[in-house]
Amino acid sequence: MEVSEHYGFEIQEMRMAPDHVHIFLSFAPRYSIAKVVGMLKSISASEIFEKFPEVKKEFWGGEFWEDGYFARTVGDKVTADLIKRYIKYHRDELHGKQLKLF
């Protein structure tokens, strides 16, 4: 992803569902989580609307992403490996087999 290279983000795992995206990434401490989420949402929406202008007509108010997001940092109990495994097997969630994070 060009955005991650440009800003020095390291995407370690990513999965897309029909209505949301899971991304596990690392970034420099000069960026806040809110800033990174805002950048990813803004840039990806702009590129989608540029490549597929008909998509914008489908959305109320022309907004591609919802305002909210969930962020979780890595710590003692929730390790990087646990988060990567959760995202990697996210496909099971779509079939009613949610992998438990906690």
CATH of the domain at 11: 3.30.70.1290
Does 100 reside within a domain? no
- pTM, two decimals, is 0.74
What is the C-alpha to C-alpha distance for residues 89 and 19, in angstroms, rounded to an integer?
A: 16
pLDDT single digits (tens) 1-54: 577 888 899 999 888 887 888 999 999 999 999 999 999 999 988 888 899 888
Does 64 reside within a domain? yes
pLDDT single digits (tens) 42-85: 998 888 889 988 888 777 777 888 888 999 889 888 888 888 88
Number of domains the chain is built from: 1
What is the C-alpha to C-alpha distance for residues 78 and 62, in angstroms, rounded to an integer?
A: 36
Does 102 reside within a domain? no
Does 101 reside within a domain? no
17 φ/ψ angles, rounded to the nearest 5 degrees: -115, 170
Q: Domain limits at 62?
A: 2-95
Please say whether the beta carbons of 25 and 12 come within 8 A: yes
How many residues appear in the chain? 102
